Structure 1
């Protein structure tokens, strides 16, 4: 009887065969998703499918907290809750994680990145988030304040009770800047509009990310101005001031200018996408998100 021959593959051929058969040689970083206002995990089933289809084996977690109407709770309260789950995941990911955050969730994620020291977030993807604030009459506003128009919302938002409603935590009325600075205890701190003793530490924490991806577009219909998703906002005459002309950018209060100078910021603009479509639009995923989730 002949002795069976043992055929040994070269390492190069073995690697090629594994790639061709769809086996993932190097694992992908876990992806943490934080939902927006009136949202929950069910809205991100499509996004999860997109991610796991192109990157098989990726651990995707849509944090199931403050869903639906509970998303109206104060943002600092939500940050505390989301942070616990965030930290439990990141502690088990030595190579880091990616953070994908939609709408209001983008502000929650910014607060987490600013207040958690030594986090290991590699890429922060902000998907149509009011990063510089919100000032517009949309369906979302009418659901919260049905009898108000944008010119009068400041009377509610810039009060002690108003600051207990999430949307008021980033309501940025350009005609009442002083009232905003006096009353706002969330966005004004994140953007460094209102100096505080944690600014240096928050800046250092935020700058631990390797990549910042900003996604938004002119047909969003909710984020107002839509350029807020790219850190642009209105001046007192409601003229749009783009990101690089904002004071928080020029003063580099939380590290945005530094990220830009490092070449670690990507801006993606898509027209024809409504606000609730961002997380299920395949073109947006392929062109703005997929390449950063490696």
Structure 2
């Protein structure tokens, strides 16, 4: 009897209850894991629309204050390492999870997919993620104007200085089209995950393991410059009047991340919202995103 109960209890704990797959969220700059007005509302919507999903909203730090601050000042590579440890330690994710990144959380979760293939990421949904970086620091989200003014000055005068690169998150995806050589050499995060420094075969192999890459671009975005970065587009070198879309980029033609392969297999979904940055309705989210989270 004892042996039977032991086996039964094992299966109760080891076999996940049928329902929607787990979902992992990563917030954007100036936000936190647990803001009831932002990710809190997303979690509520997910639970309303899906079959009782387990939702993990990543907190990078020991509390919400640290989580918000780390979105500005904790080296992005260290944040990815921190997130990977959280994901590996969470037994609810062992069979796989869907990932939704908001703004800079989009490229951070892509880095997770490339660097940490276990537990397996199923679909990766990037909502306003800056996958080719930014060239221009916008209005500040929330009550962080003093911080943002400080960051603007650092980016303007020393984005590629080693101290700034290692301690300022936004500098780590700052992409100056007039300084491409410097960017590729100095960028400690974006140039690495975009295979612009040295080629890492594992990054491509791991990203190809996901089912779909869903990219959301905001057509009236006043936060991300250029907003085409949200679909992997960016300025032509030395010419901010011209955008090179993903399919015309070397990243695509050389298939450095497997994006060409995924696109040819119809595994990249290019979505748009005719609104400002992260400004979407519940109904837009239901109509465009929920279907990718059901199985």
TM-score normalised according to structure 2 size: 0.83
2:219 aligned residue: 218
**How far did residue 70 of structure 1 move?**
2.0
CA 1:117–1:194: 2 relative to 1, 3 Å: same
CA 1:189–1:147: 2 relative to 1, 3 Å: closer
- Given the alignment of the two structures, is residue 68 of structure 1 paired with residue 35 of structure 2, yes or no? no
Aligned length in residues: 263
**How far did residue 56 of structure 1 move?**
3.1
The residue correspondences of 1:43-122 to structure 2 (distance < 5 A) are 43-66=38-61, 67-72=67-72, 73-89=74-90, 91-122=91-122
Q: Secondary structure at the match of 2:283?
A: helix
CA distance in 2, matches of 1:95, 1:79: 20
**How far did residue 117 of structure 1 move?**
3.6
CA distance in 2, matches of 1:230, 1:140: 22
Deviation larger for 61-70 or 214-223: 61-70
CA distance in 2, matches of 1:100, 1:147: 29
Select the structure of larger CA radius of gyration.
1
- Given the alignment of the two structures, is residue 186 of structure 1 paired with residue 189 of structure 2, yes or no? yes
Deviation larger for 69-78 or 27-36: 69-78
**How far did residue 284 of structure 1 move?**
2.7
CA 1:148–1:264: 2 relative to 1, 3 Å: closer
CA 1:148–1:128: 2 relative to 1, 3 Å: closer
CA 1:93–1:86: 2 relative to 1, 3 Å: closer
CA 1:119–1:260: 2 relative to 1, 3 Å: farther
The residue correspondences of 1:235-250 to structure 2 (distance < 5 A) are 235=236, 236-238=238-240, 239-250=242-253
CA 1:149–1:45: 2 relative to 1, 3 Å: closer
2:289 aligned residue: 289
**How far did residue 38 of structure 1 move?**
1.1
- Please say if residues 124 and 212 of structure 2, whose CA atoms lie closer than 8 Å, have aligned partners that are also in contact: yes
**How far did residue 165 of structure 1 move?**
0.5
CA 1:214–1:106: 2 relative to 1, 3 Å: same
Deviation beyond 4 Å, 4+ runs, structure 1: 141-145, 147-150
2:31 aligned residue: 39
